[in-house]
A and B are shown apart, each in its own frame.
Chain A
C-alpha cells in the first residue's frame, strides 16, 4: 500500500539556523532517504521551495484566478514529502516517525487512493 508522508515544519527557522546545524539535518535526511531506499519503502520524495514561491490557482466561473502564497497560512508549512510503500498504517507511522522533521515539525500520513 502506498502512503504519502507530508512534511510540515516552520520554514522560518531555516533562515536563522546556523550553517552547521542545517548541514547536519540535511545529512540526516540523506541518510534516512538512503535507508528507506535500501529497505524498498521509498517510492519518491522531494523538498519544496519555501511558501513565498507558492501560487494558488482556482477556476471560478470559468476564469482562472491566481493568488500569491500558499492555500492556507499556517504556523507550519508543507516543506516536502515522501511517497512510501508500507504494508499497513503501523509500518507507515514507523517510517514517518524516522523523518528528521518529525522531531520538531509534523508529518501527515495519507494513504493513496486506489481506483479500480
Chain B
C-alpha cells in the first residue's frame, strides 16, 4: 500500500479501487443487507466515507473489508434515521446490527471463498430464470459489470428510461417474489448455469454482430461478455463455462478481419489470417481442449471446437472439413436446431462438394423454418453460383437481400448479384 500519499493520490487510489472492487463490495453488501437498493446506497456511502477518512487516517490494512463493514454500518444508520418515520425499520436495523456476519468475521474472510461466493450469488440472482431475458441482461451488466444505465441503453439501442424501468422492475420482482440470493443447489445448477451462460452469450453476440455496424459502444459489449466469462470461470470452472469463454475468444480473435477498411463484409475464407489474434486463439483452443477432456461438455464447447478448427487452419483450403462435419453431427444430437443444420450443410458442401450441400439446404428450406433467414438463402445462392446455376443463384441472392438488415451484409449481397449479372451477359 502506498505510504504518505497526497490527497489527489488518495482520490485516484480510491477511484481505481472503485473500478476494481466496487462489484465485490456490492455483492457482499447485498447478502448482508438483504436487498439491492439498500446495498447500492451503502456501497456509495462507504466509498464516500473512504474519501473523507483515508487521506486523514491512511488506507486501512484491508480496504475491501473496511468498505464492506463501513457500508453495513452506514446502512444501519440510514435505517435508524428513516425509522423516525417508519417504526418497522428499527426492527430491521436491530436485526442487521446483531446478525452473525459482523465486521470482525469480514476482516478474517477478506478475499476468501465466502466473499467470492457472493459474486457468484450476484451473477445467479441477476440471471434468474424468473426474470425476463431482457431484464437478466440489463441487470447483469448493471450490477455485475457496473455499467451505467445510459451505457447499457445505448449499447442495446433502447431509450435510457426504458432500460432503467426494466432494471427497477427486475429488482422489484427479486424483492417481492423473494428470489433468493443464492448459488443454486447441485441438482439445479446445470439448468441455472445454462441461463447464466445464455445471458453472457447474448451480450457477446449483441456486440459481435454490432461490430459490423458503426457503433463502438455496442462492440464493447463483446469485451464485457469476455470479462464476464473470465469472472465466471474463476468462480465456477465448469466445462461449459470454459467452452463459452473459448468460443467468445476464438470469434473475437477474428474481429478485426471481418470487415474491410470500407466497412465491407469479408468472408471467413477471404480474411487475412496473419491479422488474427494468435494469443487469443491459443487461449481459446486450450480452453476447448480442457472442456472436451472433461467429457461433460455441451453445445458451447462443441461450437468452440468448430471455431478452433477454423482458427487454427493455416489457410482456408487447409480447413479440416471432415472434423467440422463430425462436430456438427454431435452438436445436432446435443442441441438440434435448423440453424445448426444449415451450418452443417455448408460444411458438407465443403467436404463433399456443392451439390451435396445444396440438397441438404433445399430440404431445410422446404420445411419452412428458415424461410425468412437471410443466411439460408445466401448459402443456397453461393452453392448455386459455384455450380454455375446462375439464374437460381440470382433468385436466391435477391431473396436474401430482401431479408438482410445490416448495411455491410446488404452491400455484400449486392456485390455478388452484380458479379452474377456480369457473368450472365
Interface stretch (choices A5-13, A16-24, A74-82, A88-96): A88-96
Interface stretch (choices B177-185, B245-253, B373-381, B406-414): B177-185
Q: Is the CB of B176 within 8 A of A111?
A: yes
Which positions in B face A, CB cutoff 8 Å? 88, 128, 130, 176-180, 182, 184, 188
Query: Could you say which residues of chain B place their CB within 8 Å of the CB of A43?
Result: none
Alpha-carbon gap, A111 to B172, bound state (A):
12
**Taking A89-B130, A90-B188 as contacts, is the C-beta distance between A1 and B88 under 8 angstroms?**
no
- Where chain B touches its partner, the secondary structure class is loop
Alpha-carbon gap, A93 to B128, bound state (A):
12
Alpha-carbon gap, A111 to B177, bound state (A):
5
A4: min CB distance to chain B, Å: 12
Query: Could you say which residues of chain A place their CB within 8 Å of the CB of B177?
Result: 89, 109, 111
Alpha-carbon gap, A12 to B275, bound state (A):
63
- Where chain A touches its partner, the secondary structure class is mixed
Q: A88-116, CB under 8 A of B: which get 1 and which 0? A: 11100100000000000000010100001
Which positions in A face B, CB cutoff 8 Å? 1, 87-90, 93, 109, 111, 116
Q: Is the CB of B180 within 8 A of A116?
A: no
Query: Could you say which residues of chain B place their CB within 8 Å of the CB of A116?
Result: 88
Q: Is the CB of A89 within 8 A of B178?
A: yes
B130: min CB distance to chain A, Å: 6
Q: Is the CB of A89 within 8 A of B88?
A: no
**Taking A111-B176, A111-B177, A111-B178 as contacts, is the C-beta distance between A90 and B88 under 8 angstroms?**
no
Query: Could you say which residues of chain A place their CB within 8 Å of the CB of B179?
Result: 88-90
A86 nearest CB neighbor, chain B only:
B178
A113 nearest CB neighbor, chain B only:
B176
Q: Is the CB of A93 within 8 A of B130?
A: yes
User: Can you list 16 A-B pairs with a CB-CB distance of less than 8 A?
Assistant: A1-B178, A87-B180, A88-B178, A88-B179, A88-B182, A89-B128, A89-B130, A89-B177, A89-B178, A90-B180, A90-B184, A90-B188, A109-B177, A111-B176, A111-B178, A116-B88
